[in-house]
Amino acid sequence: MDPRVESVINIMREGLGDHLCIRMLSKSVNLSPARLRQLFKRDTGRSPMEYLGDVRMRHAEHLLRNTFLSIKEVAFGSGVKHVSSFVHAFKKRHGLTPREFRALRERPLYSVAAKGVDSE
């Protein structure tokens, strides 16, 4: 992978709450926006903005699973400034709203292994 693409990926992961745009990302690695898009697509199979969206959604999934932050706080913490945009993107990716996704986490899971322990 091109080290400039790796650098941009690190910027994305570390700057989730920042406003990241292709112009700023390309400038950070001394490339034109078009050249960064080309290298990024070659190395990752996705555009920089698609990749950033994936990074943000994975971070949101982590926050929903492991914190009690509100949906608004999760959206902002993932770098999405509008809650409605966040909910729409999350539902498109998962088929569930963030609230529904979190509710699945809170539901106790039935474990076959636990049943076997209880029946002994």
Does residue 119 fall inside a structural domain? Answer: no
Contact (CB, 8 A) for 64 and 98: yes
Contact (CB, 8 A) for 5 and 40: yes
Range of the domain at 87: 3-106
CATH of the domain at 24: 1.10.10.60
Contacts with 10 (C-beta within 8 Å, 6 or more apart), sequence order: none
What average pLDDT does the segment 13-34 reach?
Answer: 90
Number of domains in the chain: 1
Does residue 114 fall inside a structural domain? Answer: no
Average pLDDT, the chain: 87
Does residue 115 fall inside a structural domain? Answer: no
Asked which of 13-22, 67-76, 80-89 is least confident by mean pLDDT, the reply is 13-22
pLDDT number for residue 115 = 47
pLDDT number for residue 100 = 93
Neighbours of 48 (CB within 10 A): 23
Does residue 120 fall inside a structural domain? Answer: no
What average pLDDT does the segment 36-56 reach?
Answer: 95
pLDDT number for residue 107 = 57
Q: Distance between CA 82 and CA 39 in Å, rounded?
A: 30
Does residue 117 fall inside a structural domain? Answer: no
Does residue 98 fall inside a structural domain? Answer: yes
What average pLDDT does the segment 53-79 reach?
Answer: 93
